[in-house]
Chains A and B, each alone.
Chain A
Amino acid sequence: MQEKSDLPQGTLDLLILKVVALGPVHGYAIAQRLEQVSRGVVRVPQGSLYPALHRLENRGLLAADWEETESGREAKFYRLTRKGRTQLETEARSWQRLIEAVGLVLKLSEGGAE
C-alpha cells in the first residue's frame, strides 16, 4: 500500500481554494477531487474539510449557494470570491517559492554528502 503524507500546516486552505477556483463545487466533490488529483498521496482528512470550508467562507474567500446537482438534490456549492482569487494567487506564489527554496537546499546537501 502506498504511503500517505499528512498535509503540512495551512496547505489545506490553499488546495481547497485551488479546487474551488476551477468552478462552483460542493464539499463532497472537493474531497474527491483532492484525492484523485493527488493520486492518493495526500490524505485529506474529511473531518477537517468542512470546518476549513466554513472558515474560508467566514473570511470572505469563498461564497456559497444552494443549487441542484445533476441528480436533482440540493447541495451547497462553493465558489471563489474576488478576494479568494487574490489570496489563492499570493499563496500559490509563496508556495512555489518555498518549494524551490527547499529543493535548492536539498540538492545542496546531496552534493555535500558525496
Chain B
Amino acid sequence: MTWWQRLWRRRKMEDQLEKELRFHLDQHASELIAHGRDPQEARRQARLALGGAEQVKEKCRDVRGTRWLEDLLQDFRYAIRTLRNQPGFAAAALLTLALGSGATTVMFTVFNGVLLKPLPYPEPDRLVAVHGHTDTWNTEVYGQQNVAYFDLLDCQRESRSLAMVGWLNSGGIVGEPGIPEFVDRREVSSELFSVLGVPLFRGRAFLREEDRAGAAPVIILGYSFWQRRFAGNSPAVGLSLVLDGKSYTVVGIAPPRFQLDGDEPDAFTPLGQDTEGYMRKRDLHPVGVVARLQPGATLAQASAELALIGGHLAEQYPHSNAGRGFVVSPLRPDVGDVRSTLWLLLGAVSLLLLIACVNVASLLLARAVSRERELAMRVALGASQGRLVRQCLTESAVLGLSGGVLGVLLAAIGIRPFVQFWPGTLPRADEVQLDWRVLLFAIAVSLLAGLLFGLAPALRAPVRELEQTFRAGARAVAGSSRRLHASFVISEIALAVVLLVAAGMLGRTLLRLSSLDAGLNIRNVLVTRMALSPSVLSNRGQIPVAWQDVLDRARRVSGVQSVAAVDTVPMREGNNQLGYWTTPAVPPESQQPLALATSVTPDYLQVMGIPLLKGRFFDDHDRRGSEPVIVIDDVLAQHAFGGEEPVGEHLWIPSMSGPSWSEGSDPVRVVGVVGHVRHWGLARDDQAQVRAQFYYPFAQVPDRFLHRWSELMSIAVRTSIPPLNVVESLRRELRGATGGASGDQALYEVRTMEQLMSNSLVRHRFLLLLFGIFAGLALLLACIGIYGVLAYLTGQRVPEFGVRMALGASARDVMRLVLRQSLGMIFVGVGVGILAALAAGRLLVHSVDGMRPTEPSTFAIMIPLLVAAALFASFLPARRASRIDPMSALRQE
C-alpha cells in the first residue's frame, strides 16, 4: 500500500485497528477469567498489560507515514477555528497583511509586465537586435547606433544565420480623404511581419518586389489608425490614401496593439521605396534592424557571421566602413528609466510589507504568550516541540495565505487605476496583467511572510519548565518575550525611518528643482511640430518662402505676440550635439568637446524669453551667403573662452563647415551671448554630459539640408492669452499656408512650455507621491505596532506596577517608567534606521536625477515627526498603566 492509499482508507484502517486491539483485550481477559479471575478485574488487568489502547493506537498511526498530512489538515482546521474565535485579532492581522501584500502585488504586477514578460511576438527568444558598432561611438551619450541601408541589404543577402529586416522612423501627412493629419510612419522591409511572426489583421504584407525604388506605392495601416480614420471600415483594403502628396494603395491592416520599438505606428510603407539621400550613403546609419535566428542557428554563430560580413564590407568600402562592425544582441523591450523607477518602488513597497509582517508577528507573539498554558498542556499530553512548531507555523501560514489572497484581490482591483495613474505612458502597459507569475509571486510572498512572522512565536513553544508555566500562568513567562517584542518595535521604527527619510529627500529635491530657473520664461508659450506641405518640400527653392509664410500667418492669429521656428525645443525629446574647437587645428572627433546646436529664426529669444547677455542675436541680415554667425550661451562662453570676451571670436565646428555643410564656410563668428537654458529638464540638466549650447540662424542652413531641417522644425509662439486657446485658430490658419488651395499642412505634438517643464519633473512627483503614501502607511503601521506591543507589555506588568504604587510610586512615576521603556526602543530603532536610510539614500541619489546626498536637515524634520508619533502611540498604554488601582492589581496576582 502506498502512503496515499493508506490515507485514502483511513476510515477502514481505523476500524481494523480498533477490532484488532479489542480482540487482543478480549482474548487476554478471557484467558485470565479461565484462570479464575473475576471478569471485571480480568479486563482491567488486560488493559493494564496492553498499556492503554489509545496510546497504542497513536503509535500505530504514527507508523503509517501519513501522519504529517493528517496533522496538517487538523492544524489547518484548528487554525481557522482559532482565527474565527478571535475576530478582532484576525481582522487586524488580515487587514495589515492584505495591505502589505496588495501593494507589493500591484507593484510586482507592473514590474512583471514591463520588465519580465517577453516581447509579444512568437518565440521572442529567437529575436535579436542588430546595431552598428565603431570604437569612437559613445553609446552612453548617443544610444545604440543604427545601420546603413546598403549595409543592411548586404547583410540580408550574405547572412545564413539571420533573417534580417530593417525599419526607419518617419512621418508624413495623410491628406485625402479627410482633413490633413500628421501620422507616425514606419518604413519597413517587406519581411518585417513574417520575421516578427505576426500575421496581418486584414489584407497582406508587402511583397518583395514592392520593397524597391520605383515600385507601386503601397501602404499598411496601423490598427488604431484604421479605427480612428476609417472607423474600422473593412473595405479600407484596396482604397487609396494620399500620404505626403503621393497616392498609396492600402494593402493591409496591422494586428491590434502591434508595436514596433515600443510604439504603435499609424502606417507602414516599404523601406526600399524611400529614395532620400540618406538611404544611399554607407556613412549614414538611419535604419533600425531586428532579425530572427534561423532554425538551429545560435546567437554566437550570428555574431561571428556578421563580424565576418562587417570585415568584408570594411575592405570593400574603406571610406565609410573601416572600423565598423555589427553587434548582435537579444531583442529586449526598451523601457528607458522606468526600470529604475520600478526597482525603487518595489524596494519601498517591500519595506512596507516587512513592517506589516513585523506588526503581525508581534500580534502573534502576544497571543502566543497568552496561549502559553494551552501549549504547555499540549506538551504535557505528549506533543513534541517539532509538533508544536508545525502547528504554529500552520496557523501563521493560514494567516499569511489568506492575507495573500486578499492582497491579490486588492491588486486585481487596483492595478488598472495604478497604470492609469502612471505619469506619461507606462511602456508596455498592455502587458501589465495578473498572470501566473504574479500569482506565484503573491503565494511565495505570503507564505514567506507567514513563515517570517510565525517563526518567532513558534520557536518559543514551551518544552521545558512545564510546571512553572502551569503554576505561573502566562504572566511570569512574559519577561522572556520582552526582548523579542522590543526588537519588533525597533525594526518597525527603523523601516519607517528609511521610508520617511526617502520621502523627505524626494520632497526636498522636488522643492529645490521646482524653484530652479529654467533659463527661459515658460508662461504663455506654445510649441508645436509643423509639417510643411509635401508639395513645398519636394521643391527646395520654395522652402524658405514657405517658412516665412508660416511665421507671418501665425503672427496674424489673434492672441499671438511673436513667433519663431526652431529645430530642438528645451525639455522636449530631441537634440543635436556637435563638436567644436577654438582654433583651426581641430582634433579628431572623439576629442572635440560637444555642444547642443539649435537652429532658430530671429524672434526665438523674444518668444522664449531667454536673456541676451552680450552682443546681439540674429536678424534678417544673417542669411545664406552672409558671414556664418552663432550665438552661444554663458556655459559655452565659459567652456570655450574662459574669462575672455567671446563676442567677435571664432569657433570651428566641423559638422557646420567644409564641403559636407556648404562651400567655403569655415569658422563661425560668435556675435552674442545668451543665458543658459535647461535643455535636459530641471532635474537632469545639472548632471547632463553636454550642457553648452549655441544657436545658429535657420536662414543660414544650406539649401541642400533645407528639406531635412524642414521635417524637424517646430514653431514656438508667445501668446497674450492662455496658449492652448490659440491652438485651433493656429491650426486652421497654418493648414493651407502655401497657395491656400492645397491645405495639407499639419501641426502635431502641440505642447505648452509649462507642460514640457512639468513633464521634466513628473517622475519625481510620482515617486514623491508614492513614497509619501508608503511612508505615511509605514508610520501608521509602526505606531499601531508600538501601541500594540506597549499595551501588551504594560498589561503584563500590571502586578509589578501595583507593587510599585503600593510602595509609594506616583502615577507620574509609572507613566515615566512606561514611556522610558518605549523611548529606549524608539531611539535604538531610530539609530538603526538612520544607518539604513543613509544606505537607501545613496541608492536614491544613484537612480533619481537631481537628488542630493542625504542632508542632515531631512533627518531633522523626519525623525522628530516619527518620534512624536511613536510617543503618542505609547502614551495611551502609559496612561492606562498610571491609572492602575494598586489594590486590585495586587489582588490579581
Query: What residues of chain A have their CB less than 8 Å away from a CB belonging to chain B?
Result: 26-28, 31, 45-48, 50-51, 54-55, 58, 66, 73-76
Contact = CB atoms under 8 A, between A and B. Distances in A.
B27 interface: yes
A54 B51 contact: no
B60 A54 contact: yes
A75 B19 CA distance: 8
Interface of B: 1, 6, 16, 19-21, 23-24, 26-28, 49-52, 55-56, 59-60, 62-65
Nearest to A45: B51
Contacts of B27: 28
Given A26-B23, A28-B27, 11 more contacts: A27-B23, A27-B24, A28-B24, A45-B51, A46-B49, A47-B52, A47-B59, A50-B59, A51-B59, A51-B62, A58-B6
Given A50-B60, A54-B63, A75 B50 contact: no
A76 B60 contact: no
A76 B55 contact: no
Nearest to B51: A47
A46 B51 contact: yes
Nearest to B50: A46
Contacts of B51: 45-47
B311 to A, nearest CB: 70
Contacts of A75: 20, 23
B64 A58 contact: yes
A112 B59 CA distance: 46
A51 B54 CA distance: 12
A6 to B, nearest CB: 14
Contact of B60 (A45, A51, A73): A51
B16 A47 contact: no
Nearest to A30: B24
Contacts of B50: 46-47
Contact of A55 (B19, B56, B63): B63
Contacts of A31: 24
Contacts of A48: 59
B808 to A, nearest CB: 60
A76 to B, nearest CB: 5
Contacts of B55: 47
Max count, chain A CB within 10 A of own CB: residue among B50, B63, B65: B63
Nearest to B6: A58
A113 to B, nearest CB: 41
Given A46-B49, A76-B16, A54 B23 contact: no
Given A46-B49, A46-B50, A47-B50, A27 B20 contact: yes
B33 to A, nearest CB: 13
Given A28-B28, A45-B51, A50 B64 contact: no
Contacts of B20: 27, 50, 75-76
Given A45-B51, A46-B50, A74 B59 contact: no
Contact of A50 (B1, B21, B26, B49): B21
Contacts of B1: 58
Contacts of B49: 46
A51 B60 CA distance: 4
B23 A73 contact: yes
B59 A58 contact: no
B56 A47 contact: yes
A1 to B, nearest CB: 17
Contacts of A27: 20, 23-24
Max count, chain A CB within 10 A of own CB: residue among B16, B24, B51, B56: B24
Nearest to B20: A76
A72 B62 CA distance: 31
